[in-house]
A and B are shown apart, each in its own frame.
Chain A
Amino acid sequence: MLEITELVAGYGRSDVLHGVSLTVPEDGVVCVLGHNGAAKSTLLRAVLGLIRPSGGRVRLDGRDVTRLPAHRKVRAGLAYVPQGQQSFPQLTALENLRLVADGRGRDGAHALDEALDLFPALRELAGRRAGLLSGGQRQQLAIARALITRPRLLLLDEPTEGIQPSVVAEIQRTILELAGRGGLSVLLVEQHIDFALRAAQRYHVLEAGRITSTGEGGEAARDRVREALTV
């Protein structure tokens, strides 16, 4: 489904991602683990095209999409939930969702409804400005917004970072449910090792812009990942 080969990217003149390769299979969940500053977010931004890769390839269903602008990739089936509960702060919660549903006709309205079903709490908050929502609510809004385009591949950047524990569990449950439904692949960036390994069939440890360790997901991988992350 998604094939990343030797991807190089950075900011200005300096590269921070030094040739990363990984694939996300159809309906699969792949996680990327790594310390702060390892370039996990940079990897996702480069895949989506928010920053222009200076080398390597991104292929979606075999088609080279490396140079495609981000909004075109979204049309091709990618969706992205950036790190840090981002929203359009002055738009209401509902406007944040309608923005994406607009122009998708009936199906847009339908998808919007389904996204709200996933996080019923958002229904009551529909009229409130997104900037006034709590971090957890904003993250739910961000995930809902990403799902309205009916993506086939979801890029999730630390979806539970900095969120109160009660909401963390709900978000994690939703992610597992989405991944289990079929028709959706996930590339998940995480710092919670346990959750990441539970969700993913495959993990990659990223350090200073390079993959240093990789293997199958699941409980059994925990110690190996811990070790890879401490050295």
Chain B
Amino acid sequence: MNNPEPENFGAHSRRTFFKSLGTVAATAATAQVRSVAAELEKANAESVIGPGAVPVTLKVNGEKLKLTLEPRVTLLDALRNYSSLTGAKEGCDRATCGACTVLLGDTPVYACQKLAIEAQGYEITTVEGLAKKGNLTKVQQAFLQKDALMCGYCTPGFLMSVTALLRKNPKPTADDVKHACAGNICRCGTHPRILQAALSAAGVATASKTEVVNYV
């Protein structure tokens, strides 16, 4: 079956092409930026919009991003291809791997299975937004200390899942960590180290060696 989406942009990479389409990262200070509230009201009014590109305002890592997107653009594509936020990774694009995990408020979701237009009005956090002023969070430090990554492709997703878990449940058990991270898959098999890192970031005495090794 034909794939109706254009893939080939000649000299442009997909990402630079998308970015040249008029993406503007606006700071709150920019004059004449309509308020997010007004944008939201417009986006959520009961009117039919698209299929052509429409203005979409996302609040990512505390900064407003004013984008022009077709309604079909996923939040993941908006971050990676229409902004410079490539921290959230695309693994499956089908809600089955967790590499694209971002937070909406405090809630981890798959950015590949959500439209950018639906994410307006939320405080979106990607892995880029975790460290403040270059200081890694406890969870990030624990991942480093426990050597919880190999290729690192799954790491941003796991960091978001563990960060969300510890906000909701600061003293999780090993089972809580496994339950919270079941939707993140690491093809390099670093799961036991990730479990150790999550528990150590929470200050929970590391589970027995067998419990950690028997990660399923």
Question: A and B: real partners?
Answer: no
Q: Hey, which bits of chain A sit against chain B, CB under 8 A? A: none
B residues contacting A by CB (< 8 A) are none
